[in-house]
Amino acid sequence: MKALIFSILLILPVIFYNVDCQARKPGSTLADRVQQLTDMASKKPVLRFNGNKFRDFVKATPRNYSVIVMFTALAPQRQCAVCRQASDEFTVVANSYRYSPLFSNKMFFAVVDFDEGSDVFQMMKLNTAPVFVHFPPKGKPKAADTMDIQRIGFGAEAIARWISERTDIQLRVFRPPNYSGTLSIILLFAFMGGFLYLRRNNLEFLYNKTMWGIWALLFCFAMTSGQMWNHIRGPPFMHRNQNGQTSYIHGSSQGQFVVETYIVMSLNAAVSIGIILMTEAAKGKTPDLKKRKVMAVVGLVLISVFFSLLLSIFRTKTHGYPYSFLFK
């Protein structure tokens, strides 16, 4: 009996020591988790989580902080065409928050890469990337806590607006200065100035209506195809669903893909070429009647086919539109 009591007395300190170690385990209490997150965020605005860290800092309860998590796949073998661009925009937002007066321990930014946390993707039932999810301080994420990048894109400004809607923290995006645009404009004007100086005795080309017409058409194609919308919203180049099917045309009139703008630009250019051919054939400047007929027929075919394709795309994006021409 004495031997048993003596053994218990020897074991009890070990048990209490293990319990104390578990109590002091990093991330085991709310205060510890907040302190660790704050320390990590002060060094790097975007925290990199694997499966264990995700469960410790994001899924563990209780929480008194929000976590904005980007689920991504940055490895080249994953062939995620937009993940790098989305990651850059996400980092801009995180840096803007880190160096703003609003920075506190109430919100943190984190990223989970598929190759480092595939179990997290299975837990969240995610089959695509990138995905932005807001984990609120209390309760589980709702449908609105997943950012709809197909509708609003993944530009830094769009992410900041979405975060402001979900957390009531009004973020202002501060982008690092980029002098490449200014340098390009300076080089362009320098090139144009040098060219005009060399051609100062022969500037008749400035009165060339065809040249100015081509430049005007190119400008119109760029604007009507949605290039400015791409610049503001930063949409993905294309979309690949969970079945591996690739979409080049967005299914809603509220969004578009980058490749879609190139398609629309090409169709508009083909219709314009058709109109030009028919106009030139009608003017009769070409004396060959047969050639004029060919130009008129080719122009009519171009207008009919490619305008029908434009109308078909419009029907795809505007559900319920009743009219079509050659293609449904």
pLDDT in tens, 89-147: 999 999 998 888 888 888 999 999 998 888 899 888 888 888 999 999 988 888 889 99
Cα gap 56→149, rounded to integer Å? 27
Highest-pLDDT range among 218-222, 280-284, 297-301: 297-301
DSSP 146: B
Asked if residue 81 lies in contact with residue 150, where contact means CB atoms within 8 angstroms, the answer is no
Strand 66-72 and strand 46-49: the pairing is: unpaired
Q: What is the pLDDT of residues 207-265, one digit of tens each?
A: 778 888 888 888 888 888 888 777 777 677 777 665 667 777 877 777 788 888 888 89
pLDDT for the residue 156: 87
pLDDT for the residue 71: 93
CB atoms within 10 A of CB 155: 22
Whether pLDDT at 201 is above 70:
yes
pLDDT for the residue 12: 47
Beta-bridge partner residues of 240:
246
Whether pLDDT at 274 is above 80:
yes
- CA angle, corner 55, sides to 54 and 59, nearest 5? 100
Highest-pLDDT range among 27-41, 225-239, 267-281: 267-281
Mean pLDDT of all residues belonging to the chain: 81
Asked if residue 109 lies in contact with residue 68, where contact means CB atoms within 8 angstroms, the answer is yes
Asked if residue 35 lies in contact with residue 28, where contact means CB atoms within 8 angstroms, the answer is no
Whether pLDDT at 291 is above 90:
no
Asked if residue 117 lies in contact with residue 111, where contact means CB atoms within 8 angstroms, the answer is no
pLDDT for the residue 327: 78
Asked if residue 250 lies in contact with residue 257, where contact means CB atoms within 8 angstroms, the answer is yes
Cα gap 117→37, rounded to integer Å? 19
Write out the two tokens for 153: 């894109």
If you average pLDDT over residues 270-294, what whole number do you get? Answer: 85
pLDDT for the residue 67: 92
Distances (CA, A) of 126 to 52, 56, 162: 18, 20, 20
pLDDT for the residue 181: 67
pLDDT for the residue 18: 46
Q: Tokens 């144009």 correspond to what residue?
A: 192
pLDDT for the residue 21: 42
Complete domains list, the chain, with CATH: 13-167 (3.40.30.10), 204-317 (no CATH)
pLDDT for the residue 47: 92
Asked if residue 313 lies in contact with residue 264, where contact means CB atoms within 8 angstroms, the answer is yes
100-104, 157-161, 251-255, 287-291: range with lowest mean pLDDT? 251-255
Question: What torsion, rounded to 10 degrees, do the Cα atoms 184, 186, 190, 193 define?
Answer: 110
- Reference 69, options 43, 50, 42; nearest CA is 50
Whether pLDDT at 25 is above 70:
no
Whether pLDDT at 20 is above 50:
no
Cα gap 61→138, rounded to integer Å? 8
